[in-house]
Amino acid sequence: MRIRKIDHVGINVHDLPAAKAFFLDLGLEMIGEAEVEGEWVERIIGLNHVKEDICMLRTSDGNVNIELIQFHTPQDEQGIQASFANTLGIRHVAFEVEDVDALVSKLQAKGVELVGEVVNYKNKYKLCYCRGPEGILLELAEPIT
């Protein structure tokens, strides 16, 4: 028994259309959308009275899938919590990109925050962190060839 690959990463959001637009602007492709509810999902995730909308996206190479989830019921009573790179738990999703500078400029024009700065790491990668809608942290990595 062994793990073969990561199938997808799930991200809970408050505003599904805004999060979907952000990831599409980032360059992901739409796989599909659905409304999810019923006993089967409640049994899987351990919550009652589940009603949610989901959107599945993937990278252009088809190797990474992102599932965006907006719960209508039950809702998270705490709302969005600010997090930082050192906050415990799952903190960011990293994407390899072709042109960090161009992508950061494009995202900043749409209101995305550059957390630190774009840095050359040992002439191997150009790296940066961005904060998208709802505080989602992304690492963008451009291999230097």
Is the pLDDT at 80 greater than 80? The verdict is no
Distance from chain centroid for Cα 2: 26
| 57-77 pLDDT per residue, tens | 999 999 999 999 999 999 888
Is the pLDDT at 39 greater than 80? The verdict is yes
Spatial CA neighbour of 92 closest among 35, 135, 142:
135
**pLDDT above 90: percentage of residues in the chain:** 73
Asked if residue 43 lies in contact with residue 95, where contact means CB atoms within 8 angstroms, the answer is no
Identify the band that residue 132 occupies on the pLDDT scale cut at 50, 70 and 90: confident
- Expressed in angstroms, the distance from the first to the final Cα of the chain is 37
Is the pLDDT at 4 greater than 90? The verdict is no
SS3 97: coil
pTM of the model: 0.87
Q: What pLDDT shows up at residue 3?
A: 76
Q: What pLDDT shows up at residue 85?
A: 78
The CB-side HSE value for 99 (13 A sphere, CA atoms) comes to 6
User: Taking residues 19-46, what's their average pLDDT?
Assistant: 94
Can you tell me the distance from the alpha carbon of 101 to that of 56, in angstroms, rounded to the nearest whole number? 26
Asked if residue 69 lies in contact with residue 12, where contact means CB atoms within 8 angstroms, the answer is yes
Domains along the sequence of the chain with CATH? 9-73 (3.10.180.10), 92-143 (3.30.720.110)
Average pLDDT, the chain: 91
